[in-house]
Structure 1
C-alpha cells in the first residue's frame, strides 16, 4: 500500500488487492475466473480510481494488455458504441510495422451489431467484428488481453450493449480455446449489484456461470494512512484518534471523499478528535446522513408524480410492475388523485433523464443508486 498527499490529493494505493484480482484473471480452474470476474461496489467508494491507478499498472507489469472502457463516460452514448470506440482506439494505438511504414491502417472499422466505429484516415480496409478486433489487439500487443468494463450493468440498457456483451463472451471462448495465441480475460465492475446480476443470472445471459462478488472497499489501512498524513499537522492536544476515524468511515459507507470532508470539519477546524468523538456519540445519524445529502436535493426537485413512482419502485424492488393496474392505483393514492399508465411512463422517462432510475430491460426499471432505497425509507420513517 502506498499513499501520497500534496495539498490537493490524498490517495492510498492497494497493490496487494490489484495483484490478487490480476491473479484471478487466468484460466486456472481452481484459482482463476475463466467465465469472467464481476465485482460490485457502492458508488463513490473508490472502485473506478482503483482500476486506473492500481489494477492497470499491475496488469501491464505482468505482461498483459489491458483495455478499459467506462460505460458511464458518456451517459447519452449507446454502451455498444462506447465498447466499439474503445476497441478502435486500441487498434489505432497499436500499428504493425507494415502500417507504420505505409502510414495507414488496414483496419477500417469495428462493427458490433448495428453500430460501427470508424478508424480515422482509413479509406479502404477490413471491417472487424468484436471478436476479430480483440484477436487483432492480442496479436499486435503480443500478449494476453484483459478487457475491463466499468459500470458494466449499463450494457443491458440497450440492444447493442447486450449484443456487445454476448460478442465479448464469444470472443473469450474463441481466444481461450485456441491451441495458441493471446488469451482474453474479462473483468466487469459496477455500482449496481442487481444490474450486474442481470449478466449472469440465467443461461440466456452472456456471462452465465460467473458470479457477482463484492469488490473490497477501503478499510483500516486507508484510515491509518489518512490519520498518519494529518496528525503531524495538528497540535499535540488535537490529534486524531484512529478508532474514531474508523468508526466514522463505517458510518459513511467507506466513502473516502466523505471521510476527508468530515475529518476536515470535525478535526482540523473544530476541537480535534474530541469533536469527532462527540459527533460519533451524539449525532451518529447526522454523520451517516452526509452520504444521503444529494438524495434529498434530487428528491425535492421531483414532481409529486415522479416522487410517487419512485416510492413505489423502491418499495417493490424487482417486483415493480410499472403499468399494472395495482401500481397505477397505488401511485394515485400517494398523489391524492388519478394516475395512468401513460403518466407513469412519462414520470419514469423523467427519472431516467435525471439519472435516478435506469432500465435494465424492456418493461423493467430499477434504482440507479441502490443506496437511495435506505435513504427514502428512512425519510418516510418506515425503514
Structure 2
C-alpha cells in the first residue's frame, strides 16, 4: 500500500506503507541514531512527532518489550529509508510493523530520508501530514492548513502517569516528577537502591512535601516547557528545600523556575552521538539527546544559575547548576537508552548531593515535629 508524507513547505514524499492505515499530523523531526529505534518509538518525548530515522535500515532486529522506555509508543508517525519486515534477532518478539499497527501509528518506507533530513536542517522542523489514503494533494494541503500549533502542544498530560506509584528501595527516597519520563531514569535510580515515588506532572509542592523526600528528580518529557507553567511554579516553590536533578525537559523547567528563559531550536538535537563538554573538567562526553528547545544563554545573566556543560556542535547550554541551592540539571539523557552510558555518573553525583545536604541539614525527630504541630494548633 502506498503512503505519502506532505511537509508544511509543500514537499511531498511518496513511499510504501507499513504499520497502521489512516491519516496523522505531527511535527516532522529526524534522529541520527544507528541503533535504538524501539527506544525512540517508546520515548514519551517524541509524543506528537513524525520521526525520521537517518540510518537507512530499520526493523532488522525487530521489537523486544524488555527494551521499551515506556508502556507504549507515543510517536505520531515513523519514516524510514528501508523497512525490514522479517527481523533476525533471537530476542525479537515481533516486527516494527506489528508494533505500529497495534498502536495505530503510520509508517512510511522507501523514501529519500537523506533529502528529508536536509530539508529539515535547512528550513527547521515543520508540520507534516502522513497518510495511506488516496486524497488529492490539494485536500491534504487544506488539512495541513487547518492544523494548528495547539495540536502539537500540551503533550505532557498525555504522557505523564495519572496516579502516583512507588518503586521501593532501601536507600534515599526520591520523588520522580513524571513529565513523560523514560523508564531508564527509574532504572538508574533503582540500580542505586533508591526508594522512588513517581508522581504526576501536576502534583503540588505540598503533596510532594508529604512524601518526605530526600531529593527530587525532574524527568524528561515532550514539547515546549512553557506549556507546563504549573510545573515551573512547583519547582520554584521547592527549590532550595530539597536537592534537585533535572533531565531534558526537567532541565528546561528548572531553568525557567530559576528565572532564565528557553527558546526553540531550529531542528533540535535527536540522536546518540552528541558531543558535550563539561566545563569544570574540560572533558568531552558523547551523549544521547532528544529535545527541540534550549535554555537561552543571555537569560542566565542575573540569575543564580551557572553553566556547567555546553554542546560542542552549536555551543548551546547542556548543563546548569544553582549557585545557592543543591540543584543541577542536564539537557541530555544520562540514562541513555538508546545511546552511550558514559554519563550515568550524574546519578551518583545527585545522590552525593543528597547525602551532603542531609548531613548539613539534619531533620528534626518526628516526635518533635508532631509535638510542635500540636502546640501550634492549640
TM-score normalised by L of structure 1: 0.24
Structure with greater strand share of residues: 2
Structure with greater helix share of residues: 1
Larger Rg: 1 or 2?
1
TM-score normalised by L of structure 2: 0.24
